[in-house]
Amino acid sequence: MKKPFGVSCLLGILFMVCISAGNAQPIKSDILGELYVEKNAGFTMRVPKNWETKDFNQKYLMVIGQAENNFTPNINFGDEEFTGKILDYIEACIELFPQVFADFEVIQKGEFTTTKGVRGAYMITQGRINEIKVRQNYYVVPNKRGTAVMTIVGTAPPGGVKFDAIFAECAKTFEWTK
């Protein structure tokens, strides 16, 4: 099995700019804002209310919130080839991330289902790179053919527990359009 270093890990590292989701639970529309449409990759997802998309010259736009205490919470996307069980992907990330993040810990992990029935897995972690501490919510969903995964990574400051619900609500709205 290929170690998922590629996109998922780099998203956690490169975009430090600046929960669980239950099975097909109703979304909290007061948290959600605009619909992000990624035509080339073929997916959509609602983003948090009053957050905006920005082009940081990456494959996909980044979704950013308002800076708090010199940290900008954000959501970014990355895809990578993978043909195994989604929980195996999460476990491979858990094995790899301590090599990248100091003080790495898994807060929570499990499975989730979007409102459109897409089944995936998630984990919430905390760690640090140099002096930058982060709390990250990873939501991983397979593509329709089961040949690749999309990882949605929500990053917040370590005390950013309030963002867990925001990231979960957004991930529940993820939908493949092609």
pLDDT band of 19, cuts 50, 70, 90: very low
Print the domain residue range for 134: 5-176
Tokens of 118: 């897409």
Beta bridge partners of 69: none
Domain of residue 67, CATH code: 3.40.1000.10
Look at residue 88 and tell me whether its pLDDT is greater than 70. Answer: yes
**Are the C-beta atoms of 133 and 127 separated by less than 8 Å?**
yes
* Reported pTM: 0.85
What is the tally of structural domains in the chain? 1
- Predicted confidence at residue 69, as pLDDT, reads 81
- How does residue 84 score in pLDDT terms, banded at 50, 70 and 90? very high
Q: Supply the Cα-derived Rg of the chain in whole angstroms.
A: 15
E-assigned strand segments in the chain: 32-38, 43-48, 52-54, 62-64, 74-81, 102-113, 119-129, 132-142, 148-156, 175-176
Contact 16, 156 (CB under 8 A): no
User: Tens digits of per-residue pLDDT, 110-140?
Assistant: 999 999 999 999 999 999 988 999 999 999 9
| Chain centroid, CA 123 distance in Å | 9
> Residue 9: is its pLDDT beyond 70?
no
From CA 1, how far away is CA 14, in angstroms rounded? 24
pLDDT tens readout for residues 149-166:
999 999 999 887 899 999
For the chain, give the longest Cα–Cα distance.
42
Question: Is residue 17's pLDDT more than 80?
Answer: no
Per-residue model confidence as pLDDT tens digits over 34-76: 999 999 899 999 999 999 999 999 999 999 999 988 899 999 9
Cα-based distances in Å from 174 to 68, 117, 132: 26, 10, 29
